[in-house]
Amino acid sequence: MFLDPRIVIMFGANVLLLYLNMLVNSALSGWSLYLILLGPMIVLPAIFLRHRSYMICTLLTGLWVDAALPSHFGLITCGFITAGAFIFQIRFRFRAEHNYHPILLAHSCNFFCIALLTIATGLSRFNVIDFWIQVFATSLVSHAVLLIVAPWFFDLQRLLFELCRLETEPEDFPIL
């Protein structure tokens, strides 16, 4: 096929995760706590799909997140493409049939997204201690919640693959 039909499932799951993340963020806004759960959105497309399909899924997800978050437009899209390309290049080193490696990749991608958003706020805020307390609290809460959300999210995507009778194994992996 020209494009993998799993793109629709992965993009839909990413939209669901972003929607739930924004619902929780609106409920936590009174406490000045925010969740950034962007890491799991790019892990399985980079591991499971071929280059063209993964790039389309990552680009659509990045544009969707950029439209929803109050950041510079294109920041998350470029970050997703960069992190996804790195994962895509070394994807043969990870075992995708279980959740251990994808969860570690989700945490590293989430840390990358938090660092990207922190740097994008501007150098003028780097000398303010309250800014760093907010970044530390956001990182701590986000990664604690990601321990619960990432396995659920990856299992949801795999379940949707099985329900739609699509391939649940990554493509182009070498046969050992």
The whole-number pLDDT of residue 168 equals 67
Give the three-state DSSP class for 71: coil
What's the pTM value of the predicted model, to 2 decimals?
A: 0.88
The whole-number pLDDT of residue 122 equals 81
109 exposed, middle or buried (CB, 10 Å; 0-12, 13-18, 19+)?
Answer: buried
Name residue 117's amino acid.
Answer: L
First vs last Cα of the chain: how many Å apart? 25
Question: What CA–CA distance (Å, rounded) separates 2 from 166?
Answer: 15
| Contact of 142 with 110, CB cutoff 8 Å | yes
The whole-number pLDDT of residue 48 equals 84
The whole-number pLDDT of residue 75 equals 93
Domain ranges within the chain, ordered by starting residue: 6-163
Q: Of 19, 13, 51, which is closest to residue 155 (Cα–Cα)?
A: 13
Mean pLDDT, each 10-residue run in order, the chain (176 residues): 82 95 92 91 88 90 91 91 90 76 92 94 86 93 95 92 80 54
- H-helix segments, the chain: 6-28, 40-48, 51-68, 75-89, 100-120, 129-163
The whole-number pLDDT of residue 90 equals 85
The whole-number pLDDT of residue 170 equals 65
